[in-house]
Amino acid sequence: MSCAPPPPILRLHPPSSISPFSSPRRPHLSPRTCPWRLAAAREMPWPHVLTVAGSDSSAGAGIQADVKACAALGAYCSSVITAVTAQNTAGVQGVHLVPEELIREQLQSVLSDMSVDVVKTGMLPSAGIIKILCESLQKFPVKALVVDPVMVSTSGDSLSDPSTLTYYRDGLFAMADIVTPNVKEASKLLGGVSLHTIADMRDAAESIYKFGPRYVLVKGGDMPDSSEAIDVFYDGKEFVEFRGHRIKTRNTHGTGCTLASSIAAELAKGSSMLNAVQVAKNFVESALHHSKDLVIGNGPQGPFDHLFRLKCPPYNIGSQQRFNPDSLFLYAVTDSRMNKRWGHSIEDAVKAAIEGGATIVQLREKDIESRPFLEAAKACMEICRSSGVPLLINDRVDIALACNADGVHVGQSDISAREVRELLGPGKIIGVSCKTPAQAEQAWRDGADYLGCGGVFPTTTKANNPTLGFGGLKAVCLASKLPVVAIGGINATNAGSVMELDFPNLKGVAVVSALFDRECVSSETRNLRSILASVRCLA
């Protein structure tokens, strides 16, 4: 299958879109340059989060949770300890505040030396500590500030002085990029208002936004009457509801700290705020799911395993650790009829596409029985895993489960993304085909990770597939909160024009016949990748 030795494949990292830390409500900056040149110019390529929080002796929350979450998501995490607590799974037995002058020295030491990208705050037990932090951030600006206003532990123990409320609202919030209170903290920040419904959470987010942060995320995990874990996100104009499964487990200690530090890690890596929140929520849900039966301690609330990926089969060495929207760049969709026409097996076709530079692979096999399809899918999974390329299965959730694929892609006539998530569990990639803004909105609400939009051009690979053109693609991209991959009739002659549209969430093109209805799949893939890369670099 391989017609020529493939050139080295550049694994591109997205440029940072986080604005400089200079004033409240700062506009985002989006440098238009080649991603690899931007990465090479960084002083410190390792994304860096500084957590300013308390130490938890049980290692479930606080500094310990922040360090573990950032490490699991690929970011470096330094720390400034504000308090030392004695706590376990039963509650908090003691709190000792670190002297304010030593906190100032810790901040000075890290911020003056270590190229911090994002600061994340947790337990800030006194007004003086908040004041020192604000002064330090004015002296040493960073790209983003994530504020988790930790004031009360889950067991009900107070972790901050009442005077901190004023300093949070009048000082730190105005400097924050995002504030992440749970419903209890939001109530306390707003003078004790009752929060029982999603409407209450929206009102709270709107009120907290008026204190000055660019974004607010009110976490609803503590809402007792909800069957889902619903968080409300507000950007000053629009509300977005992040919905997740409520995992039945006692191991929930540190979920708030972990969510905030995960958001910080994603921002440090260059994600947009909306995507950072989605990734963080998925990570926490996955960690809870994989840790639900662990037993540590005798109290009512145990910790969960931040490093679950090291032990789970989908995350063995060489596999895709989580969905990265940039993997949609060159999306290869197989076709059994084309493979037969050229004498290619499914495995050979997938291997050749990856050799040529495909960044994600979908098996769409309509003319094959379940048993041989499963055997081929297992073989393709090994090929993709060894190359770090995600493998998705079209429609067939049963095949995806049996071969432990990275995810599933479904159409409008198939089961919903929400139903697929219930079958696959957290941590898997779910894509949905859509043609209209309404379908894009529904896919977002159902918990999809990306959209496939088309056909952009006329195609013969799918019967009765209306052509949307650039206008239809633009309408979906502008309406979608999810990354989008364009599909339908795309080939080497028109792929560049698709990428030149340069919509912020249009991440790549999906191709069938232009790759697989050819004698040499690897060379066709290599040629198409070169075209796409040249357009991206010039944009």
Residues annotated as part of the active site: 219, 252, 254-257
Short-list 435, 452, 461, 428, CA closest to 507 = 452
Q: Of all helices (H) and strands (E), which one includes residue 535?
A: helix 521-538
Strand partners, 231: 219, 242
Backbone angles phi, psi at 466, to 5 degrees: -60, 145
Instruction: Return phi, psi of residue 57, to 5°.
Output: -65, -25
The secondary structure element, H or E, covering residue 372 is helix 370-387
d(CA 10, CA 419): 36
HEC states along 90-155? Answer: CEEEEEEECCHHHHHHHHHHHHCCCCCCEEEEEECCCHHHHHHHHHHHHHCCCCEEEEEEECECCC
DSSP for 187-240, written as a single string: HHHTTS----SHHHHHHHHHHHHTTS-SEEEEE-TT-TT-SEEEEEEE-SS-EE
Determine the straight-line distance between the first and last CA of the chain, rounded to whole angstroms: 33
Cβ neighbours of residue 286 under 8 Å, at least 6 residues apart?
Answer: 308, 426, 427
Name the nearest CA neighbour of 396 among 422, 380, 373, 426: 373
The CB density around residue 318, as the number of other CB atoms within 10 Å, is: 12
Write out the two tokens for 99: 């002297």
Check if the beta carbon of residue 263 is closer than 8 Å to that of residue 275: no
Mapped onto helix, strand or coil, the DSSP state of residue 485 is strand
